[in-house]
Amino acid sequence: MKYETIEYKMVEDGIGVLSLNRPRRYNSVNKEMAEELESFWRDRLYDLDTHVIILRGNGEKNFCAGLDMKAVMKMMPEMDTDMFYRFQARLARLNLAMRQAPQPIICAVHGAAVGLGFSFALASDLRVVSSESRFSAAFINIGLGGADMACSYFLPRLIGAGRAYEFMLTGNFMSAEEAMSLGLVSRLVERDQLMETAMELARTMNGKNPMGLRLTKEAINMNIDAGSLEQALNIEDRNQTLLVLRGKLREKGKASRYF
């Protein structure tokens, strides 16, 4: 599929790079980008050839400045309540689609990740950030509630409720150093090492069993919400049994490279 607001390419066997591609608008999300991202993540559900995805923003300024408010304000006069709800729901569910994607997602952040851009980083599985990067749950700064675009789900789980309250109620920026100290990010590097570091992590994961990667991501996401230790163990037991079965089938020449 040809995209206008995003770019996607396979840089190595098993590793894809998705780039937000509106650098003149700081990679902010307009209607077209939202629709293209929706289509992109839907296609990944059935993509057995991609094992790891790196998400980044094109241009030198920012990873993603969030929703393109200029474009949204042009749309608002034509929207009734039902239309706005549908628009809101589709945007928010881009983050759900990222969690449902079977491929681990490494988010490589430079510059600002604001609003929906911050949520894209939170919805990823790993975050690699440059030293000048910064983050803001900026929703409350524009007169909306501070809980939006899945931020109220992800942020407390990643850094704890205490600090999450602060960032969501104030809209203040979190520095790269704070993000590292709070355990939000996996690597903090200089700007010129950002993609190199993301690729190192991607190659390490790509060297593992593809089914193992998918089941591990699924288990982590499911167990974050598990109501009991028993539920967590059931997920792990199922995954390990499937992988042992896969190994036995491969020994007999009856399994594909995907299972």
Report the amino acid identity of residue 252. Answer: K
State the pLDDT at residue 103.
98
| Tokens encoding 106 | 């490494």
> For the whole model, what pTM was predicted?
0.92
**Cα separation, 207 vs 228, whole angstroms:** 32
Q: Which positions ≥6 away from 252 have C-beta within 8 Å?
A: none
Cα 62-124-115 angle, rounded to 5 deg: 45
What is the arrangement of strands in the sheet containing 105-109, beginning at the earlier edge strand? 6-12, 15-20, 52-57, 105-109, 126-130, 187-189
End-to-end, the C-alpha distance of the chain in Å comes to 27
What three-state secondary structure class fits 71?
helix
| Tokens encoding 190 | 């200089």
State the pLDDT at residue 257.
54
> Counting every residue, how long is the chain?
259
State the pLDDT at residue 102.
97
Question: In tens digits, what is the pLDDT along the chain, a chain of 259 residues?
Answer: 789 999 999 999 999 999 999 999 999 999 999 999 999 999 999 999 999 999 999 999 999 999 999 998 888 888 888 888 888 889 999 999 999 999 999 999 999 999 999 999 999 999 999 999 999 999 999 888 889 999 999 999 999 999 999 999 999 999 999 999 999 999 999 999 999 999 999 999 999 999 999 999 999 999 998 878 888 888 888 888 888 887 777 787 765 554 4
Rg (CA), the chain: 19
